[in-house]
Amino acid sequence: WTFNLCSLPTPQCYCSLAVWNDRIYCIGGLILESREKMRPTKEVWIFNDKTQIWEGGPPLPVPRMSCATLVYG
């Protein structure tokens, strides 16, 4: 299968992804702070499959990278 997905508003890596209710959740990760420095982030981005738009979600309490995500229920 294939799909088109627009880029995240903030380029990042080592984020955690989950799919729930036609949305993709991108949680935490590393973002580029300067040319040579990356830092963990509190950012949460939610991609709406119907509108094809990323929206900011509530931030994490503390920055996280390489974390696990679980959809329960």
Q: pLDDT tens, 10-51?
A: 889 999 999 999 999 999 999 988 888 999 999 999 999 899
**Residue 6 counted as domain residue:** no
Q: Examine residue 48 and state whether it is found in any structural domain, yes or no.
A: yes
Domain membership of residue 27 (yes or no) is: yes
> Domain containing 23: what range?
12-56
Strand pairing class (37-40; 44-48): unpaired
Q: What is the DSSP letter of 41?
A: B
pTM above 0.75, yes or no: yes
pLDDT of residue 46: 97
Sorting pLDDT into bands at 50, 70 and 90, what band is 73? confident
Does 34 or 65 have the greater pLDDT score?
65
Q: How many CB atoms lie within 10 A of CB 60?
A: 15
Residue 35 lies in a domain: yes
Query: How many independent structural domains does the chain possess?
Result: 1
Q: DSSP class of residue 65?
A: S
